[in-house]
C-alpha cells in the first residue's frame, strides 16, 4: 500500500492550480474529504506493507516491487479462504434435522427424562441438569445454524451428531 502524504495546504493549492474546473473540488467538499480520510496503519494486516511517500520524495520502486513479488504471502484466514462447497439443500437439511432433535428433547422433558436422551443418528446422548424451555432450545438452534453457515458440515449425516455435541457443550 502506498500513502501519498501531503500537507493539506499544499493539496488545496494544487487543487486550485488545476485549469479544468470540472476536476477541482470546492472548499467544502475538499474539507469534507479531509475529515473522512483515514490514514493507513502499518500495524494492521490489511495496511501492510505500507510505503509513505512525501510530496517531494523519490518513489522506492525496487522496494515496492520486492514487497509485492518477493515477499512471503501472509497466512490465510477466514476472510481469504474459500468456503467448502455444500449441498444445495444444506440449510434446509440443517433446519429440519435440528428441529427433529429439539422435538425429541421436548418430548423427553415432558416425560420427565433429563439424562441419557437418545437421539437417532447421534453418537452421544443428551444429558441435562435442568429442563430447558422452548425459547432456550430455539436460541441454541439459531446459534448452531449461524455457526454452521460459517463452518459448513461436509456430510449431512453428521448434522445431528454435531448439534447434539453443541447442545451438550452449551448447557
Mean pLDDT of 14-41: 90
Cα angle, residue 102 at apex, residues 97 and 106 outer, rounded to 5°: 150
Contacts 24+ apart (CB under 8 A), 6-9: 6/54, 6/55, 7/55, 8/34
pLDDT confidence band for 82 (50 / 70 / 90): low
Q: What is the pLDDT of residue 45?
A: 80
Q: From CA 140, how far away is CA 166, in angstroms rounded?
A: 8
Mean pLDDT for 67-73 is: 84
How far is 146 from 164, CA to CA, in rounded Å?
15
Q: Give mean pLDDT, residues 86-101.
A: 85
Task: Determine how many CB atoms are found less than 10 A away from the CB of residue 147.
Answer: 13
Can you tell me the distance from the alpha carbon of 53 to that of 59, in angstroms, rounded to the nearest whole number? 7
- Cell 415432558: give the residue: 110
Its pTM stands at: 0.52
Q: 153 with 91: CB under 8 angstroms?
A: no
C-alpha distances (whole Å) from 132 to each of 81, 102, 120, 140 are 37, 10, 20, 10
Identify the residue whose cell numbers are 485549469: 19
For residue 161, what pLDDT is reported?
A: 92
Quick one: angle between helices 134-150 and 159-170, nearest 10?
Answer: 120
Question: For the chain, which residues make up each domain, given as ranges?
Answer: 2-69, 90-170
Amino acid at each position: 500500500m502506498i500513502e501519498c502524504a501531503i500537507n493539506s495546504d499544499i493539496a488545496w493549492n494544487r487543487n486550485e492550480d488545476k485549469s479544468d474546473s470540472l476536476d477541482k473540488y470546492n472548499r467544502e467538499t475538499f474539507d469534507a474529504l479531509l475529515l473522512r480520510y483515514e490514514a493507513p496503519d502499518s500495524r494492521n494486516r490489511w495496511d501492510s506493507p505500507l510505503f509513505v511517500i512525501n510530496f517531494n520524495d523519490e518513489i522506492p520502486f525496487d522496494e515496492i516491487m520486492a514487497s509485492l513479488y518477493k515477499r512471503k504471502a501472509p497466512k490465510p484466514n477466514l476472510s481469504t479462504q474459500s468456503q467448502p462447497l455444500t449441498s444445495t439443500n444444506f440449510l434446509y437439511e440443517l433446519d429440519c434435522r435440528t428441529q427433529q432433535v429439539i422435538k425429541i428433547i421436548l418430548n423427553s422433558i415432558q416425560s420427565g427424562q433429563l439424562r441419557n436422551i437418545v437421539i437417532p443418528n447421534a453418537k452421544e446422548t443428551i444429558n441435562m441438569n435442568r429442563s430447558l424451555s422452548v425459547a432456550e432450545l430455539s436460541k441454541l438452534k439459531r446459534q448452531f445454524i449461524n455457526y454452521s453457515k460459517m463452518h459448513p458440515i461436509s456430510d449431512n449425516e453428521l448434522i445431528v451428531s454435531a448439534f447434539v455435541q453443541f447442545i451438550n457443550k452449551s448447557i
